[in-house]
Amino acid sequence: MTALLLQTRLPVSDYDLAATLACGQAFRWRATELGWEGVIGPRWVRLRAVEGDILAETVASPDDWRWLVDYLQAELNLASILATFPDDEPMRASVEACRGLRLLRQEPWECLASFILSSTKQIVQIQQIVELLCTRFGSALATPLGARMTHAFPTATQLATTTEADLRACKMGFRAPNLLAAARAVDSGELDLNMVGQGTVEQAREELMRLPGVGPKIANCVLLFAYGYQQAFPVDVWVMKALRQLYFPKRQPRPERLQRFVDTYFGPNAGYAQQYLFHYMRTRR
């Protein structure tokens, strides 16, 4: 299905699209000759940097671009966030290596489902699994000719009516029953994702962790990337490596000691600092 393209230009400062879209917080962005192509909610989107601003193309429908500004966090004052990071050598190196990296504000269901699929998977593989899931179960989108991303992320309701075997066919292995359980919980109303963002970060985390296959790490990713709880600090293998190597090179602190450290040391935007450490560790050398 082809459609007319609509353009807008978002004024931004200090925004690195590549770092932001490919740093492992979202999984549906691909670099093409014409820019970064992806899907936000029910819309196909293409983005590219033009004179420091962001030029966005989508198919005609909205005359309001609020959904895009929110997703990209285009109006966020990044410098005021970075100013709250601890003034130490690892964070200085991370900020230097991650110029213009932003945290996105993603749709909760897509974020939750994607990170349920992420456990012990490389980012490239997560992208492949998510794309299989979208083409098989997501609704077809209005797209320009030659688009790579042609389907929306499947809704919880769409996935709730699949089977574990259907999902395993998308190469997600042992994660299939966990995704199915999450889809059913959201579809049935047993888990209300709109309510999760209302309470404290602890309440929200507890609610998400009631799902099978959702532990502290995945819950924190959703809290940070979808709900914007800046205190949420996901610790994966890379961040663990960063913490041990850069902050505790001598001895190995116990998990509880480490948890207390990340919850106090990195300040009010600890989650943001975490993403900078993550990207720094993954891109150096």
Partner DNA sequence: CACCAGGGTACCT
Partner DNA sequence: AGGTACCATGGT
For DNA, which is the closer residue by CB, 10 or 240? Answer: 240
Nearest to 191 by CA among 136, 270, 116, 141: 116
Q: Which is nearer to DNA, 86 or 177 (CB)?
A: 177
Min separation Cβ 123 and DNA, Å: 4
Q: How many CA atoms lie within 13 A of 135 on its CB side?
A: 12
When the beta carbons of 121 and 244 are compared against DNA, the nearer one is 121
How far, in Å, CA of 46 to CA of 62, rounded? 15
Label residues 47-59 b or e (16+ Cβ within 10 Å = b): bbbeeeebebbbb
Q: Is 268 helix (H, G, I), strand (E, B) or coil?
A: coil
Q: The tokens of 138 are what?
A: 């997501």
SS3 201: helix
Q: How far is the CB of 274 from DNA (least distance, A)?
A: 6
Nearer to DNA, 244 or 282 (CB): 282
Is the separation of the CB atoms in 28 and 131 below 8 Å?
Answer: yes
Q: Which is nearer to DNA, 104 or 159 (CB)?
A: 104
Q: How far is the CB of 125 from DNA (least distance, A)?
A: 5
Length of the chain: 285
Q: Between 4 and 124, whose beta carbon lies closer to DNA?
A: 124
Q: Reduce the DSSP state of residue 38 to 3 states and report it.
A: strand
Q: How far is the CB of 204 from DNA (least distance, A)?
A: 14
Task: Find the shortest distance in angstroms from Cβ 98 to DNA.
Answer: 11
- Quote the least distance from Cβ 53 to DNA, whole Å: 25
CB 134 within 8 A of CB 154: yes
Give, in order, the Cα–Cα distances in Å from 138 to each of 32, 90, 151, 162. 22, 41, 5, 12
Is the CB of 24 or the CB of 138 nearer to DNA? Answer: 24
Q: What is the binding site for DNA (CB under 7 A)?
A: 23-25, 115, 118-126, 128, 168, 171-174, 209, 212-219, 221, 234-239, 254-256, 274-275, 278, 282
Determine the Cα–Cα distance for residues 156 and 110; give it in Å rounded to an integer: 9
Q: State the minimum distance, in angstroms, from the CB of residue 239 to DNA.
A: 5
Q: Where are the beta strands (DSSP E) in the chain?
A: 5-10, 30-32, 35-40, 43-50, 53-59
